[in-house]
Amino acid sequence: AMENLWADFEEQHGPIEGRRLALTNVRCDADSHNLLLYSDMTLAIRADVIEFTE
């Protein structure tokens, strides 16, 4: 999920290499459904990305 977070950021704002970025307000939500023969797990990570400039 963390890799997808950075991939989504790069898709919208360009490459992250060489930039001073920080994650804030990181929230991790997990949800699961357990049925007799089936289990489903969902993981979502949300965060704000802050870029430090001079």
Q: What range does the domain containing 15 cover?
A: 2-51
Q: Domain total for the chain?
A: 1
What is the per-residue pLDDT for 5? Answer: 86
What is the per-residue pLDDT for 2? Answer: 76
What is the per-residue pLDDT for 27? Answer: 92
Global pTM value? 0.62
- Per residue in 1-16, pLDDT (tens digit) is 777 888 999 999 999 9
21: tokens are 């970025």
* pLDDT beneath 70: ranges in the chain: none
What is the per-residue pLDDT for 36? Answer: 82
Whole-number average pLDDT of the chain: 89
CA dist list (Å): 22 to 25, 32, 52: 10, 29, 8
* Spatial contact of 1 and 29, defined as CB atoms under 8 Å apart: no
